[in-house]
Amino acid sequence: MVARPPACKRAARVMSPHDLPPVVVRDARLDTVRGALLVIMTIDHLAPQWVTRYSSESLGFVSAMEGFFVLFGVAYALAYRRVLHTPARAWSKSLRRALTVYGYHLATLALAFALACAGWLDGPAWLARAADVQQFGPGLALWAAMLIYRPQFFDVLPAYVLLLLPAPVLLRWLCRPGASAWVLLGSAAGWLLGQWFNPWEQLARVVSPIQWVWPNLLTWQAPFVIGLFCATREPAGPWLTAVNSRSVRLLCLAIVGVCFALKHELISLSPSLLPLFDKGNLGPARLLNLVALVLLGGWWMGRFAPASKVTWLAFLGRHSLEVFSFHILLSYALMPLFAEPLVMPVTLGLLAAALAALSLPAWLHAVYQRRGRQRAA
């Protein structure tokens, strides 16, 4: 009789943290994609419609924001699965990261409120677009710090803070043979509940007169969980082997093609079907579009070595938290300029300068890290 291998060795679908190398090697491909998403998001927040029609949701009903949540899950799984065998360390590391993200959120909020109070953003163009006097009223600062109220562009970091709290448990279950299905079912149940209920939007509207469409964390946890799930699958396991098959790729291409045609009005979309593509609650058709793009993107990235990169984009992506926080302030400061009627060369020149400015926080953080390593040595 041949002895059966342990369960953790029998299941080829997941990667055990015990078998992983102790040193985390950054994947330059992920940094490059994250940097590209930062560039796209900056363009979408600043540029006029004749530019954003090509950048915003260019591949269907999926924006850069969905990409950030998926990559957040992937990056978290790659960085934290090595400490899962010591739960206390996993919780401590995840909590420290949540506090770091929260610190960046608070600092960016404080600067945005200071700019508003100083009157930098007080102009007809800005008031018509975002009603900054109401959005940054003094009474809203405390609610914003408590993550209940979120001004425009302040959606991602608060969601990251809240998702980091249960992340160690989710990741541990996804790495446990036979338990990943329960995580996926729980995520699906939360997403389904979120189609009818958005608790954060209800809370925010109690304290703010602004009628933003706040992304619903009950539904937006799904891209994060998708990222966690994909990053914990064995490269040669049955799940990734199946999704990388030619038939699955053709199906994903068909889904993305139909969504692309609907988004760009090559095919007429009935108004009654618009809720299926809703961004705030991550409607079912929008989620399907996202899953198809994630599978195609994973297959495409797998054709390149982990060290493959576009240098500038990878540089931005490596310091994404700093660049993302800076891009929010940059968007608030420059939106009045872009709201004015400008000739095309001036618009493109301003946009190029804004994109080049994204390198500043990345460079400053890189210098800070290098000096920290020198002091430690």
Q: Where are the domains of the chain?
A: 14-376
Residue 155 CB-half CA count within 13 A: 20
Q: Which residue has the higher pLDDT, 220 or 90?
A: 220
Query: Which residues, 6+ apart, have CB-to-CB distance to 261 below 8 Å?
Result: 267
Query: Which residues, 6+ apart, have CB-to-CB distance to 296 below 8 Å?
Result: 249, 252, 253, 256
Task: Inform me whether the pLDDT recorded for 187 exceeds 90.
Answer: yes
pLDDT class of 14 with cuts at 50, 70, 90 = low
Residue 144: the pLDDT is: 83
| Secondary structure class of 61 (helix, strand, coil) | coil
Q: Which helix (H) or strand (E) holds 143?
A: helix 141-145
Classify residue 176 by its DSSP letter: S
286's tokens:
């929008």
Residue 244: the pLDDT is: 78
Query: Rounded distance, CA 151 to CA 44, Å?
Result: 17
List, for residues 114-135, the tens digit of each pLDDT value: 777 665 445 444 433 444 555 6
Q: Which residue has the higher pLDDT, 143 or 247?
A: 247
Residue 108 CB-half CA count within 13 A: 29
List, for residues 149-170, the tens digit of each pLDDT value: 888 888 899 999 999 999 999 9
Query: Rounded distance, CA 61 to CA 112, Å?
Result: 29
List, for residues 212-253, the tens digit of each pLDDT value: 556 789 999 999 999 999 998 877 667 777 777 889 999 999
Task: Inform me whether the pLDDT recorded for 136 exceeds 90.
Answer: no
**264-303 burial, b if ≥16 CB within 10 A, otherwise e?**
eeeeeeeeeeeeebbbbbbbbbbbbbbbbbbbbbbbeeee
Q: Tell me the pLDDT of the chain averaged across its residues.
A: 84
Residue 53: the pLDDT is: 86
Mean pLDDT of 83-105: 90
pLDDT class of 15 with cuts at 50, 70, 90 = low
Q: Which residue has the higher pLDDT, 30 or 215?
A: 30
Q: Smallest Cα–Cα separation from 190: which of 280, 281, 262, 112?
A: 281
Mean pLDDT of 285-299: 94
List, for residues 338-362, the tens digit of each pLDDT value: 877 888 898 999 999 999 999 999 9
pLDDT class of 24 with cuts at 50, 70, 90 = low
Integer CA distances (angstroms), 208 to 133, 174, 203, in order:
12, 38, 9
Question: Cβ distance 326 to 49 under 8 Å?
Answer: no
Query: Rounded distance, CA 271 to CA 265, Å?
Result: 12
Query: What percentage of the chain carries pLDDT values higher than 90?
Result: 49
39's tokens:
């560039």
Question: Cβ distance 207 to 140 under 8 Å?
Answer: yes
Task: Inform me whether the pLDDT recorded for 4 exceeds 50.
Answer: no
Task: Inform me whether the pLDDT recorded for 106 exceeds 80.
Answer: yes
Task: Inform me whether the pLDDT recorded for 1 exceeds 50.
Answer: no
In terms of Cβ atoms closer than 10 Å to its own Cβ (0-12, 13-18, 19+), residue 203 is middle
Amino acid at 88: A
Question: Cβ distance 357 to 136 under 8 Å?
Answer: no
263's tokens:
């988004």
Q: Which residue has the higher pLDDT, 215 or 320?
A: 320
Residue 82: the pLDDT is: 80
Task: Inform me whether the pLDDT recorded for 206 exceeds 90.
Answer: no
Q: Which residue has the higher pLDDT, 225 or 88?
A: 225
Residue 262: the pLDDT is: 93
Amino acid at 105: H
Of 81-90, 165-174, 295-304, minimum mean pLDDT range = 81-90
List, for residues 31-80, the tens digit of each pLDDT value: 999 999 999 999 999 988 888 888 888 889 999 999 999 999 999 999 88
Question: Cβ distance 132 to 212 under 8 Å?
Answer: no
| Secondary structure class of 377 (helix, strand, coil) | coil
Question: Cβ distance 211 to 274 under 8 Å?
Answer: no
Q: To the nearest 10°, the Cα dihedral for 261, 263, 265, 269?
A: 100
